[in-house]
Amino acid sequence: MQIGQVGMTSRKLTDLFRAAADDLAAVEGPESRGRIRCPLCLRYFSREALSAGQLTREHILPRSVGGRLVTITCKECNNEHGSRLDSHLAGAAAANDASAGLGSFRSVARIDDSRLAVNFTPAADEDAAYELAVIQKATNPADVEKVVESLKEGSEINLTISFGYGETSFHLGLLRAAYLFAFHRHGYTYALAPASASVRCQILGAEAPSPDLPGIIKKAQFNGRLPSPVMQCDLGPLLGLPVLLTIVQLRIQLVANYFVLIPSVEAEPPGSLDRLPAISRELHGRHVTISRGVMTVG
């Protein structure tokens, strides 16, 4: 059962709750009837949580980068973890556009001991200049004044620019999208599987970010648009591997696609993330085919 829908502008949160409650009762038994569990923190919520504002429609990918699919989570997870990680997905997409000469991205410029919030426009070519536009409302005026005085005096300055997102938070944002899409497709069969616990712990910050994240999240070598911003393929039936291969597409202007590996229901916990980099290396060179909205790996 798919716990989520497309284009929720006119549909009610109660529809999502009803679908999730039916699925949970099918997985856990009749004692759970009339309740759902947040797929992230796994806390129980009754129907009264709807009127109490404790549940929310959650975008699997933020709308700012082309996300359309919606599922259900508790408001606390949406606000705390969604906002914290989604901003890094948006920042990475904006930086990708700007590096190709398409606009600017919000960043932090450190000039000596001053910190400026800026909109950064990279140079279009080697001979062109980059542009820094200070965001006045987000910058201490004293820092601006110090930088201006240094420039007037012709002093040499040291400039450091951040790219508007952190690599670890960016990876966790992609991992979160892959996990929520697995819940969207497989419901509580996936969310309550022991193999998914390691993914949830990473998303919720219950454990330190895994050093294996760069090994299981890779930029795809194609830039075409997908039938859906998130697609997933179970490699068990195809290759005998206990892995869900997810393609996540980020788009503001340019398209960037990323492969994300997460354990399938059949994976053996604990520490199931530890085994994924080796599977990623095993998949290197394989061909991914997308036809009529279906992804296969050969």
Domain spans in the chain, listed from the N-terminal domain onward: 5-87+167-297, 94-161
What pLDDT, on a 0 to 100 scale, did the predictor assign at position 3? Answer: 65
Residue-wise pLDDT for 56-80, tens only, equals: 999 999 999 999 899 999 999 999 8
What the block records as the tokens of 198 is 């390691």
Give the pLDDT band of residue 193 (cuts 50, 70, 90).
very high
Q: Measure the N-to-C terminal CA separation of the chain; round to a whole number of Å.
A: 27
Give the pLDDT band of residue 172 (cuts 50, 70, 90).
very high
Torsion angle, alpha carbons of 97, 6, 219, 261, to 10: 160
CA angle 58, 183, 167 (to 5 degrees): 70
Give the pLDDT band of residue 8 (cuts 50, 70, 90).
very low
Torsion angle, alpha carbons of 185, 80, 58, 213, to 10: -30
CA angle 194, 269, 70 (to 5 degrees): 45
Averaged over 203-223, what is the pLDDT?
A: 88
More confident site: 71 or 267: 71
Residue-wise pLDDT for 97-130, tens only, equals: 888 888 888 888 888 888 988 888 877 666 667 7
Averaged over 158-187, what is the pLDDT?
A: 91
Averaged over 227-234, what is the pLDDT?
A: 89
The CA distance from 288 to 255, in Å, is 17
Q: Are the beta carbons of 59 and 67 closer than 8 angstroms?
A: yes
pTM, rounded to two decimals = 0.85
Listed range (12-16, 147-151, 290-294) with the worst mean pLDDT: 290-294
The mean of the pLDDT values for the chain is 86
What pLDDT, on a 0 to 100 scale, did the predictor assign at position 4? Answer: 57
Averaged over 168-174, what is the pLDDT?
A: 95
